[in-house]
Homo-oligomer: A and B are copies of this chain.
């Protein structure tokens, strides 16, 4: 029931802000409205608004044509939370438990046993090799449509282990506003995430207002099957592309074909995407989310196993990129905190 209420709130919010967009485009005066109401006044908010005003002003030497207004956003830790583990890992673990009845051998086989025993310590010991096994067991062997249905079912029922709210409630309200503000100014907003592209496509389009074709992520190999006239794309148990670090810049070139002018991330995994945007001949804006709020969200950076922000923070400071101090810059974190 709570799920449904929030969903309605989000829909209403998106719907309202979309109307606002139309009005903006039709030159109805909305000058006094604040496009980023959940952001505290300060240098971060000012830097964003000054940039957008500058590059959308046709009289400015920094004016950017609409076709080049490409904005890329990481997802985990940037548009929604990623602690105590990537939400996609919780999906994999929940799915292992669901599938366990069909796999009695998992009771005695790692890393499955660790998941079934809720033994996070043992799971951590299994390392990346164990993680890959879990992901393959839960993310492949289905058609893309079957996989979407599995993820949709999960996201509408699962709860975060400590916050006890649905995962799709744990998106950052200030970032929803930023996405909407950029779109209102004719930026094309993309997700460029290390997460699985089809995992994201199953549910994020309605949360972020970003269509399937603007979601870029890691992916498995797939195979076309004519299937007697009802073609399907089968998901094979082999990672095809890891959309992280340099992979982000490579995939941006492959799929978008031009450098972003606006890039937002929160970890060292986003650094190459930032560098790629920073090298745009057009005026660009690099934005790092720094997780500094141990009370409302989580506080972590240079030594975190998840979402480590170390080299990125140094480079941001050195080059004068904008860094969001979550504790100071954001009035609220999640939409459900709205009054």
Q: Which of these, B70, B201, B223, B254, contacts A257 with CB under 8 Å? A: B201
Residues of B within 8 A of A188 (CB): 213
Which partner residue on chain B sits nearest A252 by CB separation?
B233
Q: B249 near A233 (CB under 8 angstroms)?
A: yes
What is the copy number of this chain in the assembly? 2
Which partner residue on chain B sits nearest A255 by CB separation?
B255
Q: With A and B bound together, what is the CA distance between A229 and B271 in angstroms? A: 12
Range for the number of chain A residues in contact with chain B = 20 to 34
Residues of B within 8 A of A179 (CB): none
In the complex, per-residue mask of A229-258: 1 if CB is within 8 Å of any chain B CB, else 0: 111010000000000001001100111111
Q: B256 near A213 (CB under 8 angstroms)?
A: yes
Q: With A and B bound together, what is the CA distance between A226 and B250 in angstroms? A: 12
Q: B222 near A250 (CB under 8 angstroms)?
A: yes
Give, as a whole number of angstroms, the nearest-CB distance from A246 to chain B. 4
Q: A213 near B144 (CB under 8 angstroms)?
A: no
Residues of B within 8 A of A198 (CB): 257
**A276 interface residue per 8 A CB criterion:** yes
Q: With A and B bound together, what is the CA distance between A272 and B227 in angstroms? A: 12
Give, as a whole number of angstroms, the nearest-CB distance from A175 to chain B. 21
Which residues in chain A, 245-281, are within 8 Å of chain B measured between CB atoms? 246, 249-250, 253-258, 272, 275-276, 279
Q: Which of these, B222, B226, B249, contacts A253 with CB under 8 Å? A: B222
Indicate whether A246 sits within 8 Å of B275 (C-beta atoms), given known contacts A212-B256, A215-B257, A256-B212. Answer: no
Q: With A and B bound together, what is the CA distance between A258 and B198 in angstroms? A: 11
Q: With A and B bound together, what is the CA distance between A56 and B279 in angstroms? A: 42
Q: A258 near B213 (CB under 8 angstroms)?
A: yes
Residues of B within 8 A of A258 (CB): 212-213
Q: With A and B bound together, what is the CA distance between A37 and B14 in angstroms? A: 40
Residues of B within 8 A of A226 (CB): 272, 275
Q: With A and B bound together, what is the CA distance between A212 and B65 in angstroms? A: 14
Q: A276 near B213 (CB under 8 angstroms)?
A: no
A-B contact pairs, 11 of them (CB 8 A): A197-B254, A197-B257, A213-B257, A213-B258, A215-B257, A219-B254, A223-B250, A224-B250, A231-B276, A231-B279, A233-B249
A interface vs B, CB < 8 Å?
67, 70, 144, 188, 197-198, 201, 211-213, 215, 219, 222-224, 226, 229-231, 233, 246, 249-250, 253-258, 272, 275-276, 279
The 3 closest A-B pairs by CB, nearest first: A212-B257, A224-B246, A233-B253
